[in-house]
């Protein structure tokens, strides 16, 4: 299953930086941990913190949950603020939130996450708000 997930991500994110590893939940159950980022350059040289990063895990029951690993990622893609938006005028960072996943089949759900990620990051690039 690990190889399938890697191939889905590689195909649908145009070879963005990603990691797919086996891990464990807080209570010790096995999971697959996935991190997708714009590139592999760590923010301020902090291991595991990447720009425009999302992360989630796939639990053994097949449930996908967005979760922050190493204080980075999760469901929100952080970007520079847009000074033309009044509510972002005095913020240091802003972000776009990934849509919720309601697909039960894991491969299709991962594919949808990748497509949503690419849509959001392309919009961020088009608006010139990348880090």
Three-state secondary-structure class, residue 129:
coil
What's the domain count of the chain? 1
| 97 is a domain residue | yes
| Average pLDDT over every residue of 20-33 | 89
pLDDT number for residue 84 = 86
| Average pLDDT over every residue of 100-110 | 87
Range of the domain at 118: 2-126
pLDDT number for residue 47 = 73
The model carries a pTM of 0.84
| 106 is a domain residue | yes
Handedness of CA 85, 86, 90, 91 (dihedral sign): negative
pLDDT number for residue 71 = 67
| Average pLDDT over every residue of 43-58 | 81
| Average pLDDT over every residue of 97-102 | 84
| Average pLDDT over every residue of 65-91 | 84
For 1, other C-beta atoms within 10 Å of its C-beta total 11
Average pLDDT value over all residues in the chain: 86
Q: How far apart are CA 67 and CA 5, in angstroms?
A: 17
| 131 is a domain residue | no
């Amino acid at each position: 299953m690990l190889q399938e997930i890697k191939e889905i991500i590689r195909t649908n994110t145009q070879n963005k930086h990603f990691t797919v590893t086996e891990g464990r939940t807080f209570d010790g159950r096995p999971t697959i941990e996935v991190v997708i980022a714009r590139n592999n350059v760590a923010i301020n040289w902090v291991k595991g913190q990447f720009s425009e990063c999302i992360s989630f895990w796939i639990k053994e029951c097949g449930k996908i949950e967005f979760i922050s690993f190493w204080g980075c990622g999760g469901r929100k893609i952080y970007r520079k603020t847009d000074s033309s938006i009044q509510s972002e005028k005095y913020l240091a960072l802003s972000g776009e939130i990934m849509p919720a996943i309601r697909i039960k089949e894991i491969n299709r759900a991962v594919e949808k996450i990748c497509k949503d990620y690419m849509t959001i990051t392309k919009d961020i690039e088009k608006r010139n708000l990348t880090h």
